[in-house]
Amino acid sequence: MVARFPHIAICCGLMLSAIGLCAQDRNVLRSCLDSCDEAEQAGAYLDALRFADRAMKEAERLGDSTMLASVLVRRSEVRQKNGDLNGSLTDLHDALSLYEAAANDTGRADVLNAIGSIHHYDGNFARALGYYRRSLDLRKARAVPEEMAVLYGNLGSAMEQLGELDSALYYHRANLAIRKGLGAPSWIAVCYANLGECFDKMGEGDSARHYLEASLALLEGKDDDYRRSHVLRLLGMVHLHEGAFADAVRHCRRSLVLATAIKSLLLKKDCYECLYQAYRGQGRTTEALQALEAHGRAQDSLFAVERGKENIRIEMEYQFERQQLADSLAQVEAQHQAEVVYQQRLTKERDQKRLFLFGTVAVLMVAGGLWSRLHHMRRSRNIIQQERDRSDRLLLNILPKPIADELKATGRAQAREVEGVSLLFTDFHGFTRMSECFAAQELVAEIDRCFRAFDAISARHGLEKIKTIGDAYMAASGLLHADPHSAAKAIRAALEMQAWVRARAVELAEEDLPCFCMRVGIHTGPVIAGIVGDTKFQYDVWGDTVNTAAHMESSGAVGEVNISRATHAMVMHEPGFVFTPRGMVMAKGKGALEMYFVGTHAVQNGSADRATHGEVV
């Protein structure tokens, strides 16, 4: 589990007695660093940075490169926690140069790990991996277990983010072995959580649950609500990926309670995202919408926190530049006094002063240009991300989410055979005749209204819309995930569609306008599903099940839902349904097929006299 800031295992002990400093110098430097720690703990980052700068000046005055490198590392931590990643990296690279010049491998290993952690936090996982490996090469010589465990954990997390899951498992297990040897239950729980998350990404749900539940057991009774909340959310995601939406809701709700208690916006955002997907999978549209709205609020709050950090960082830079300017003015004043004393060097020192001022202006201009460029790059990155999100939403309007994810990941989606799919076909009766009663725009508007209603009904009952062909509508239940209730869901959706068409007919009749009436047919069986074509592609299904479902619709009756024997066998004991046997009905190209009308107690009255629609054998 990678925390808000990845592991920064940097030893900042100054070892003052080992370098022979006098007691007064040691006390001044220690006082500056202690004040820096206190200000940082209080959240006063400006004060913390000022104390770190004073410690820098003391270390420079003493002329000790190892001490200066340690102070640079300390200042980089203050900058990183305030979001100034560029400033933090600058300090760390300066410290790395000093440690390399002093051939201090321990310091080099610490700094390389810290640089990798910053790139890790900034999402540059490949670059982070390179620094972690360089640090690991140096630390192998000392083989200190705690240091090796930290690096194994960082390497595993970075490789997991890069999709190198087998390598990630290797390092997570190496980390776990060391932590067990050290007897650190909290870190063992972290290792279990990392392994569980990795197995979930590999699609191995049983292993993922085993490690996550083991992690949760170790955390029970511990004062570590952040990690408990994180592990509970990961468990919810495992259940979500397996289609166990009720279990996903249960774990994510427990995680949300803990995240709310500790006021972690990041955890709350992730919990709401998990709940949204679980509720959506259950067909609980209202709860899903509420979770999505809460996710948006949490995201906005996170942006507000980041903006606050950015404001503090800008203020820190302003204070730093002001101090630099004050130092420059003091230096100019000293030069002026020197000019008064040494009149004979007036011309020479005036040229030096001008050169200094011009150089300062040039540096400020370059800094301003770099800052402007950085700001432009961030804005461009945000715009690109917005366009990518828009493209993803458009793709999800064309393809189911699992198919869209596969297409984005591999560039194509493999066709697959799916068993137990219930296909639903609708068709408006007498559409050609009715179309003559409408103007073109009115006809399209009425069809659009009908199909929008069918889309909402399909989504509510968990059906996947396949396509529309003219006035025909086609949807499937149990296509993306195996569902023993696919037939029942398809029938309920069909009955609701018929009810909507009847209600719409009443509305149009009151306005003395022509209205549609509709046949619906359903058949259950295996299909082949996939994407057709390279341009204007669509997700489609093929097989004899499709033809039979179409015959169920064409052999049905207006206002009825006609189902096949295969579908009837799946729902014959389903409560709430009433079936009217039609016997063997001739279907063009298929011969005699056994068919049933299906309804509910509420809509079945008066249906018996329609039981003989079609040609009964």
Sign of CA dihedral 435, 437, 440, 441: negative
CA distances from residue 204 to 210, 248, 300, 480, 569 in whole angstroms, order as listed: 10, 16, 34, 18, 34
In tens, the pLDDT along 285-328 reads 999 899 899 888 988 887 776 665 555 555 555 565 666 566 66
Indicate whether 598 pLDDT > 90. yes
CATH code of 416-610, in short, is: 3.30.70.1230
Three-state DSSP state, 420: strand
pLDDT at 613: 39
- Measured distance CA(214)–CA(467) in Å, rounded: 46
Q: Which two tokens stand for residue 415?
A: 């066709």
Task: Kindly state which CATH superfamily the domain 224-304 is placed in.
Answer: Tetratricopeptide repeat domain (1.25.40.10)
Three-state DSSP state, 509: helix
Closest among 419, 420, 497 to 459, alpha carbons compared: 497
Indicate whether 616 pLDDT > 90. no
Q: What's the burial of 597, exposed, middle or buried (CB within 10 Å: 0-12/13-18/19+)?
A: buried
- Measured distance CA(232)–CA(209) in Å, rounded: 10
Phi, psi (5° rounding) for residue 557?
-130, 155
Using pLDDT thresholds of 50, 70 and 90, give the confidence band for residue 582: very high
Three-state DSSP state, 472: strand
Give the 3-state DSSP-derived string for 487-502, with helices as H, strands as E and coil as C. HHHHHHHHHHHHHHHH
Fold annotation for 7-142: 1.25.40
CA distances from residue 166 to 137, 140, 202, 588 in whole angstroms, order as listed: 21, 22, 9, 55
Considering only residues 328 and 369, tell me which one the structure prediction assigns the higher pLDDT: 369
- Measured distance CA(259)–CA(226) in Å, rounded: 7
Lowest mean pLDDT among 66-75, 458-467, 582-591: 66-75
Q: Find all residues with CB under 8 Å of 226, minimum gap 6, and list them.
A: 258, 262, 264, 267
Q: What does the mean pLDDT of the chain come to?
A: 83
pLDDT at 372: 84
In tens, the pLDDT along 209-261 reads 999 988 888 888 778 888 889 999 999 899 999 999 999 899 999 999 988 98
Give residue 555's identity as a one-letter amino acid code.
S
- Measured distance CA(426)–CA(89) in Å, rounded: 63
Token pair 């389903």 is found at: 574
Instruction: Check: CB of residue 295 under 8 Å from CB of residue 280.
Output: no
Domain ranges of the chain: 7-142, 224-304, 352-398, 416-610
Residue 163 sits at the vertex; the CA angle it makes with 159 and 165, to the nearest 5 degrees, is 70
Domains 7-142 and 224-304 share a fold: yes
Closest among 270, 273, 269, 276 to 301, alpha carbons compared: 269
In tens, the pLDDT along 457-500 reads 999 999 999 999 989 999 999 998 889 999 999 999 999 999 99
Indicate whether 8 pLDDT > 90. no
